[in-house]
Structure 1
Amino acid sequence: MAICSFSGNADMYGLGIRIGFYLQWFGKILATWVARKEVTGMRLSESLFIAATFLALIIQTDRDNLRPVEIYIILLLTFGGYLYFVPLYIWRLLIGCDPDLDPSRHPRVRAGKMFSRLNFLLLCSVCVFQLWFWIGRVSTIGRDGCTEFGFLFARVRLNQRGFVVVNVVLYFLLLLCCVVVLGISLGKRWGFLEEKPKRRIGRVRKTALQELQTFINLTVVSIVVAATELTIAWNHITDVNEISSAGQTIPLIIGVGQIVRVLYIMLVTGDDYDDYFSGTNSVDSWPSGSYASGPVSVDRLPPMAPAPGSP
């Protein structure tokens, strides 16, 4: 079968949209080291981008306006930020799930509980869609006589059996991990599982684990960027490498603005995260094994001193 060139959907994965995603990914990684106060807002912005793109993907797929390879590209953008779970879980298996060697337990900036729950729901939704795509949608490739390619560290036919199996297994395992994590969380909340005592680790090891997490994130993001751009080139998709609409300039400008903000803090004002979260709220004062986040609970605040002259 031949490789068929076609005009892509620039409003879904045009150059401005892609660059906007890339800048947010790399900007967030940089911000965790030089502008930690910005990370919370950048996480929210990225999640909103993903949610909006994923919703549009569902609508366009329901209307049958996208070819399978286009869905694949959009899924790379919406799921690319989550793929760091793959090397992370491999690392956990290698260390025997030792919490003292798990970089995800010692983040530079902790996510809030509400954000974590909503992000978890979004992750599960995208995993379910991924499974539907690889099991049900990819099988339609080739009916028009055209071959479509994906990325597996080389050019691979999108409907090649081995490639499909790898992706189905990958997203099934990720979804299974999500279910297990949810079960453990509910078990602890309802008292069926006992909370393990929280342990502290040394600053040197903590920094090393944070650097490992950064390396994992950078590696995964770089691979996803390469996979996206190579997939577009391999499939001869046209009209998606120019910025010509507000739908592309908006994410591009937001991404550029975030990078400029992070660089400004790094070069001019400096990162005052520890001053902002001073005292008991300092990130270094939190238990290293805890998944708790945010400011100190109101239950732990000291009582107010009585007013002068009060009984």
Structure 2
Amino acid sequence: MGDHDINEDHAQASDAPPRAGDGPRTAQAKGAVSRWTRRVHKIYIICFHRGFAAFLVLPLVLALVFVAQKNHFGADQCKARESGCGFVGNEDAYGLGIRLGVYLQWLSVFLVVYLLPSEERSLMTSLITFSSALMMAILVLTFGGTCTYTVEIIVLLWTAFMTQALASITHTAQEIDDAGIREVPVISGLKRATTFQLNLDSPQGMHGFQSGSTLVEMCILGYAAWFWVCLLRGAEMVFAATPCGTSLFFFARIQDRKGIVVISALMTAVSLATLLFRLAAWIFRTSVKRWFSKRTYDMLGAVLVSIVYLPITLIAGITYLVPDTWMLKMFPGSGGREQLMVFLCAFVAFIVSVAGIELLLVWNGISDVYGVGSTGQLIPLTMGLVSLMPILWKLLRRYMAGEPLVPEPASNGSGLLIRGTALPHQGSPVEMAARQSDREALQLP
């Protein structure tokens, strides 16, 4: 399938304009339906492009099932780490310096996306690099045969997933998806691997960057599915339980076996649904399309999308309960609802993730993870500071110059609108060029 098929799919997803006889409410309703139809269709197309990465993760899942599950740790190894009802933590994996570095990068995402979009690409590269390193650390702990506690994997997995998720809400991530869908032909997996490029200045390079990022995301989802299935089965054989019992976080402390089973089942369903849907979308578009008529094919695709993305639809429906006057005050522009939904979901996830990770460490009695003395912690902490401090400095200079902190309202490829007023052309040529880059990064292609 090439560009022609993709463009044809986009044309089929768009609705006809409202008729002259339609009233204001009817036209508004049709417009809302049209937006959500295009959005769901885009999700489906994106899943098709990411389906091949889901296919590549299958060997990792098989290795976890047939190799990692047989690597039983020695009892003496865990005895040496036990400390009362807790244990001595691995400061080189999730020490205070590493956690602070991650939190600072997460905070940088919100400042960059809404205030300094010209800095997105370097930050996004840093986030994906960090999530890749975290995923490698998880695999080393899993296949290393050393004593690793269940809660340690949960902390690392949560950190890696949140880092990867925040990288996906940037405008640059939307540009990469659009370039992969509209400007780069769908090619074979072998051809895509041999022509891999890491250049965000060209559609082909952006598509290569997206492929690498997607592979990391699929590895996280594949590992999460295997991990939660193991925990759901009830035996903490691959990883050790906390001496006085493993405590999990789900907006409260969960210690009993029944609660752990419920959380494990929920996480398993989410991980498998996302992973299998993208794999199914890839198979569906490459093979199943030729088996059915166009009408049956479209109906099956709509059912598949509706089932998997029902929670997203429910969240979106909640935002429609907010009065329009509130929306316009908080996020001026026609894209206010969409921006509010994305911002609130991401910000709530940020707060919950920081609180959840810290509470997991406290509830499970993990010690020696509140210092920054080791070299392994200083590097991530420095990366977090390097990501945040230049952003704060640029915002401070804007404020001291009497300029608005938020760029002028403009739209990007994802349809999100940013609030603000036009920036005056004052300052050095470098500063003026940076402000112009911020405005251009938020404009429609």
Please give the TM-score of this superposition, normalised by the length of structure 1: 0.71
Q: 1:219 to 1:233 in 2, by over 3 A?
A: same
Task: Find 1:253's aligned residue among 373, 379, 382.
Answer: 382
Q: Which residue of 2 aligns with 1:299?
A: none
Task: Find 1:115's aligned residue among 174, 197, 209.
Answer: 209
Task: Find 1:23's aligned residue among 95, 100, 104.
Answer: 104
Larger displacement relative to structure 2 (207-216 or 163-172): 207-216
Is this contact kept in 2: 1:131–1:171, CA < 8 A? yes
Q: Distance in 1 between matches of 2:160 and 2:222?
A: 13
Q: 1:204 to 1:184 in 2, by over 3 A?
A: farther
Q: Which residue of 2 aligns with 1:150?
A: 248
Give how far 1:3 is off.
Answer: 7.7
Deviations 1:186-236 (A, max 9, x none): 69xxxx999xxxxxxxx8122542243122111111111111000000001
Q: 1:226 to 1:273 in 2, by over 3 A?
A: same
Is this contact kept in 2: 1:15–1:241, CA < 8 A? yes
Instruction: Give the AA of the match of 2:175.
Output: R
Is this contact kept in 2: 1:27–1:262, CA < 8 A? yes
Instruction: Give the AA of the match of 2:90.
Output: N
Q: 1:123 to 1:185 in 2, by over 3 A?
A: farther
Give how far 1:46 is off.
Answer: 0.8
Q: Distance in 2 between matches of 1:84 and 1:174?
A: 17
Aligned runs of 1:195-210 on 2, under 5 Å? 204-210=333-339
Q: How many residue pairs end up in the alignment?
A: 255
Larger displacement relative to structure 2 (118-127 or 137-146): 137-146
Q: 1:254 to 1:107 in 2, by over 3 A?
A: closer
Is 1:124 the counterpart of 2:218 in the alignment? yes
Give how far 1:36 is off.
Answer: 0.8
Q: Which residue of 2 aligns with 1:303?
A: none
Q: Distance in 2 between matches of 1:248 and 1:58?
A: 19
> Share of identical aligned residues, percent?
24
Instruction: Give the AA of the match of 1:38.
Output: E
Q: 1:225 to 1:181 in 2, by over 3 A?
A: farther
Q: 1:46 to 1:181 in 2, by over 3 A?
A: farther
Larger displacement relative to structure 2 (269-278 or 68-77): 269-278
Q: 1:64 to 1:157 in 2, by over 3 A?
A: farther
- Tell me the SS of whatever aligns to 1:140: coil
Q: Distance in 1 between matches of 2:283 and 2:348?
A: 30
Give how far 1:285 is off.
Answer: 2.6
Task: Find 1:48's aligned residue among 106, 129, 140.
Answer: 129
Is this contact kept in 2: 1:84–1:216, CA < 8 A? no
- Tell me the SS of whatever aligns to 1:172: helix
Q: Which residue of 2 aligns with 1:133?
A: 227
> Which protein has the larger Cα radius of gyration, Structure 1 or Structure 2?
2
- Tell me the SS of whatever aligns to 2:254: strand
Q: Distance in 2 between matches of 1:25 and 1:205?
A: 27
- Tell me the SS of whatever aligns to 2:137: helix
Give how far 1:115 is off.
Answer: 2.6
Task: Find 1:74's aligned residue among 140, 156, 161.
Answer: 156
Q: Which residue of 2 aligns with 1:179?
A: 279
Q: Distance in 1 between matches of 2:343 and 2:217?
A: 20
Give how far 1:73 is off.
Answer: 0.8
- Tell me the SS of whatever aligns to 2:175: coil
Q: Distance in 2 between matches of 1:77 and 1:277?
A: 29
Please give the TM-score of this superposition, normalised by the length of structure 2: 0.51
Is this contact kept in 1: 2:97–2:372, CA < 8 A? yes
Deviations 1:39-73 (A, max 9, x none): 11111101111111111210122113311111111
Listed as ranges, the gaps of 5+ residues in structure 1 are 89-103, 195-202, 287-311
Is this contact kept in 1: 2:95–2:377, CA < 8 A? yes
- Tell me the SS of whatever aligns to 1:284: coil
Q: Which residue of 2 aligns with 1:236?
A: 365
Q: 1:128 to 1:39 in 2, by over 3 A?
A: same
Q: 1:40 to 1:51 in 2, by over 3 A?
A: same
Q: Which residue of 2 aligns with 1:305?
A: none
Q: Distance in 2 between matches of 1:263 and 1:24?
A: 12
Is this contact kept in 2: 1:84–1:220, CA < 8 A? no
Q: 1:69 to 1:183 in 2, by over 3 A?
A: same
Task: Find 1:215's aligned residue among 344, 349, 366.
Answer: 344
Instruction: Give the AA of the match of 1:136.
Output: C
Instruction: Give the AA of the match of 1:244.
Output: G
Q: Which residue of 1 aligns with 2:186?
A: none
Is this contact kept in 2: 1:149–1:155, CA < 8 A? yes
Q: Distance in 2 between matches of 1:155 and 1:139?
A: 20
